[in-house]
Amino acid sequence: MRDSGQRPRTVSRRTFGGLAASAAATAGLTACGGGSGGGDSGPAHLRFTWWGSDARHEYTQEIIKAFNAENPDVVVEGEFTEWSGYWDRLATTTAANDSPDIIQMDAAYLKSYADRGALLDLSKEDGLDTGGISDGDLALGESDGGLYAIVQGVVPHAIVTNTQILEAAGVPLPDDKTWTWEEYARLGKAVTDAGLPDVYGIQTEGVQGPPMENWAMQMGETLFTEDGGVGLNPDTLASFWEYHLGLAASGAGTPVTLTIERNPTSSALDQSGTATNTVAFAPWWSTQLTALAKASGQPLVLLRPPAQSPGGDPGLYYKASMYWAVSSRTEHPEAAVRFINYLSTADAVADLMLTERGIPANPAFRERIVDKLSDTDRAALEYVNSIEDVVNPAPPIPPVGGSSSGEIMTRIGSDVLFGRQSPDAAAQAFVDDLTGQIESA
């Protein structure tokens, strides 16, 4: 742990004007001497890092402030950035043995870090208190018998539906407890045929992972197996692609170019069909409803994904939206665990975070915030509660090397949509490629 550059923040951040800024910066420039030692007697310094955008940065810093006020022997300092820079920085600092103490973690990378020894096994630490988070949810953070991350929020799949477009197209809102993919396609076609300018019924898929995993779950399959292999049957993947190729071909769904352009891995949420009111139906994570509604300005509702047959399994499960993990190199594991307890259980956290990091895994949080939520956030919470009877156990998280599944899906999926590979051949290529990545990692 280095201490240089960690100056106590005595200046209020709102009044931190230009002059003070330049003075502080100059101090930074010249502070090349030995680190100003924190010493053993001083407070424990913890670096806490997360990804997000400005709304999240703002309230997370409030959380830190509240924690620091209650824990005078610990000083937590925040480091934040956006998603892709976050992982570059985390990889670099971890490689240099200088990773932050408390790390916001995603399921895709959890095993990549945990299985290589970068994270602390929290089950071996004293004093961990995660409140009422269920064992099932806690298991989302387990790897090889250890507990490496505490889930903060969960989030299920949903079809975000624009009711204003449906109305304008004269299409009734379907019953999402009984609808099927067949009906989905039919309704989509009716919307497109209504001829609203630039509007299509359905956002065609095929290049991003989550809708495909939802489809696989409906077939009783998961992308990965418990023992870290690929669990997906190529036929399942091929049928998923064939269905969506059918949507694009019939006009029920967007043309394939729009599918690739709007792939969330390369495009902003605000440029999506749902956000720009140019599709009626599109698959999303349910908590994205608020962001989508803000960009859209039109009424949006959450529906369960269609099933393979009437009344069949909609393939829903709770995905961990986010975790907290502790670096295995931290010098203050006790303080770090205390901070994680705080994030998991403190009322102040519930009040500030609401559902911004997913529907809280802690049921006490859910009860506490329900009256404080905006309409769309409450709708997302109610959706989660409403599906409890049909939800499946969560699929195994990606093994080491499996974090590239999304990238492989995007690449091979584009080939399929542009007719460069048949769905069958591409599905086999996907499974082979992913298996190779896992084996070589």
Partner 1 sequence: MTTELSSTRRGAKAPAAVPAPGGRDEAPWPSRFRSGLKHAALILTAFVMLYPVLWMIAGSLRSQDQIFQASGLWVSDPQPQNYSDGWSALASPFGHYMVNSAIIAIGCILGNLVSCSLAAYAFARMEFLAKKTLFAVMLMTIMLPIHVVIVPQYILYSQLEWLNTFLPLVVPKILATDAFFIFLMVQFIRGIPRELDEAARIDGCGHFRIFGRIILPLMVPALATTAIFTFIWTWNDFFSQLIFLTSPDMYTVPVALSSFIDATSESSWGSLFAMSVVSLAPIFLAFLFGQKFLIKGIATTGGK
Partner 2 sequence: MSALGELRTLKGQQSTDKRDTKVAYLFLLPWFAGLFVITIGPMLASLYLSFTDYNLIQPPEWAGLENFQRMLTDERLHNSLKVTFLYVFISVPLQLALALALAVLLDRGLRGLPIYRSIYYLPSLLGSSVAIAVLWRQIFGTQGLVNQVLALVGIDGRGWISDPSTALGTIIILNVWTFGAPMVIFLAGLRQIPRMYYEAASTEGAGRWRQFRSITLPLLTPIIFFNLVLQLIHAFQSFTQAFVVSGGTGGPSDSTMFYTLYLYQRGFQNFDMGYASALAWFLVIIIGVFTAINFYASKMWVFYDD
The three-state DSSP-derived secondary structure of 90-104 is HHHHHHCCCCCCEEE
CB under 8 A, 24+ apart: contacts of 188-197: 188/247, 188/252, 188/253, 188/280, 188/281, 189/250, 189/251, 189/252, 191/165, 191/166, 191/280, 191/281, 192/251, 192/252, 193/251, 194/168, 194/169, 194/170, 196/165, 196/168, 196/169
Residue of 302, 287, 274 lying closest to 356 (CA atoms)? 287
Does 327 sit near partner 1 (CB under 8 A)? no
The only residue of 4, 70, 418, 436 in contact with partner 2, by rule CB under 8 A: 418
The only residue of 150, 207, 275, 409 in contact with partner 1, by rule CB under 8 A: 275
Pick 59 or 87: Cβ nearer partner 2: 87
Q: Which of residues 365-404 bind partner 2 (CB under 8 A)?
A: 401, 403-404
Which residues contact residue 247 at a Cβ distance below 8 angstroms, ignoring those fewer than 6 apart? 185, 188, 202, 204, 253
Say if strands 279-285 and 150-155 run parallel, antiparallel, or are unpaired.
unpaired
Which element (helix H / strand E) includes 153?
Answer: strand 150-155
Pick 218 or 272: Cβ nearer partner 1: 272
Stretch that binds partner 1, among 29-37, 143-151, 157-165, 333-341 (CB under 8 A): 29-37
Residue of 276, 33, 306, 26 lying closest to 162 (CA atoms)? 276
Does 144 sit near partner 2 (CB under 8 A)? no
Does 288 sit near partner 2 (CB under 8 A)? no
Residue 87 binding partner per list partner 2, partner 1, none, with a CB distance cut-off of 5 to 8 Å that depends on partner kind? partner 2
**Which letter does DSSP use for residue 356 in this model?**
B
Cβ atoms of 434 and 230 within 8 Å: the answer is yes
Residue 116 binding partner per list partner 2, partner 1, none, with a CB distance cut-off of 5 to 8 Å that depends on partner kind? partner 2
Interface with partner 1: number of residues (CB under 8 A): 68
**Which letter does DSSP use for residue 43 in this model?**
P
The only residue of 42, 70, 73, 82 in contact with partner 1, by rule CB under 8 A: 82
Q: How many residues does the chain have?
A: 441
Does 296 sit near partner 1 (CB under 8 A)? yes
Cβ atoms of 302 and 289 within 8 Å: the answer is yes
Give the residue carrying structure tokens 């960009």: 295
Amino acid at 29: L
Pick 73 or 198: Cβ nearer partner 2: 198
- CA–CA separation, 413 and 418 (whole Å): 9
Q: Which of residues 240-269 bind partner 1 (CB under 8 A)?
A: 264-265, 268-269
Does 163 sit near partner 1 (CB under 8 A)? no
Does 92 sit near partner 1 (CB under 8 A)? yes
- Burial of 82 per CB tally in 10 Å (0-12, 13-18, 19+): exposed
The only residue of 58, 167, 375, 407 in contact with partner 2, by rule CB under 8 A: 407
Q: Considering the complex, what minimum distance in angstroms separates the CB of residue 318 from partner 2? A: 26
Cβ atoms of 316 and 390 within 8 Å: the answer is yes
Stretch that binds partner 1, among 28-36, 146-154, 254-262, 407-415 (CB under 8 A): 28-36
Does 427 sit near partner 2 (CB under 8 A)? no
The only residue of 73, 129, 144, 270 in contact with partner 1, by rule CB under 8 A: 270
Pick 206 or 406: Cβ nearer partner 1: 406
Residue 47 binding partner per list partner 2, partner 1, none, with a CB distance cut-off of 5 to 8 Å that depends on partner kind? partner 1
Does 49 sit near partner 2 (CB under 8 A)? no
Pick 272 or 421: Cβ nearer partner 1: 272
Does 271 sit near partner 2 (CB under 8 A)? yes
Which residues contact residue 175 at a Cβ distance below 8 angstroms, ignoring those fewer than 6 apart? none
Cβ atoms of 364 and 350 within 8 Å: the answer is yes
Q: Which two tokens stand for residue 362?
A: 């802690």
Does 278 sit near partner 2 (CB under 8 A)? yes
How far does CA 239 lie from the centroid of its chain? 26
Residue of 191, 184, 379 lying closest to 283 (CA atoms)? 184
Residue 24 binding partner per list partner 2, partner 1, none, with a CB distance cut-off of 5 to 8 Å that depends on partner kind? partner 1
Q: Which of residues 4-23 bind partner 1 (CB under 8 A)?
A: 4-7, 9, 13-14, 16-18, 21-22
> Which residues lie near partner 1 (CB under 8 A)?
2, 4-7, 9, 13-14, 16-18, 21-22, 24-26, 28-29, 31-35, 47, 49, 51-58, 61, 77-85, 88-89, 92-93, 95-98, 100, 264-265, 268-271, 275-277, 290-291, 294-297, 356
Q: Which residues bind partner 2 (CB under 8 A)?
A: 84, 87-88, 91-92, 94-95, 112-113, 116-118, 198, 255-261, 263, 265-268, 271, 278, 401, 403-404, 407, 410-411, 414-415, 418, 420, 437, 441
